[in-house]
């Protein structure tokens, strides 16, 4: 259930931040506006979104690494009966860390696909 909510929020944010979606106005597809957006983009919005996104990504990456290091140290000093629970938490932290560091590549891949689909219309 949480995955569905996260996916929905991600898709909504992506659709809001994608400048190609705003090229459709009024009664149909506005080719002149789409051409301007496709070639130039909204540089002010792109700059702000890029800075905000990179800052959020940096904070998430630092938090992920700190979480893995903290949990690893906690695992080393834990008693033998607590290690199984900590190990389970550590596995999920490592998966999350991999996703956080792979996020720019995944976002770039999705953006390229959406740009190719929109330019082929």
Residue 28 has what DSSP assignment? E
What pLDDT does 76 receive? Answer: 92
Give every CB contact of residue 29 below 8 A, 6+ residues apart in sequence: 23, 121
Tell me phi and psi for residue 28, to 5 degrees: 180, -165
- What are the pLDDT digits (tens) for 83-104? 989 999 899 999 989 988 888 8
State residue 40's pLDDT score. 53
Q: Is 36 left (phi over 0), alpha (psi -120 to 50) or beta?
A: alpha
pTM of the model: 0.57
Burial of 101 (0-12, 13-18, 19+ CB in 10 A): middle
């Amino acid at each position: 259930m949480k995955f569905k909510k996260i996916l929905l929020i991600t898709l909504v944010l992506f659709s809001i931040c994608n400048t190609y979606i705003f090229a459709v106005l009024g009664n149909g597809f506005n080719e002149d506006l789409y051409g301007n957006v496709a070639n130039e983009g909204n540089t002010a919005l792109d700059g702000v979104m890029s800075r905000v996104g990179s800052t959020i990504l940096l904070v998430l990456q630092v938090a992920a690494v700190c979480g893995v290091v903290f949990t690893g140290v906690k695992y080393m000093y834990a008693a033998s009966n607590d290690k199984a629970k900590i190990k389970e938490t550590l596995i999920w932290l490592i998966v999350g860390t991999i996703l956080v560091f792979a996020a720019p590549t995944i976002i770039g891949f999705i953006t390229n696909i959406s740009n190719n689909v929109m330019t082929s219309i």
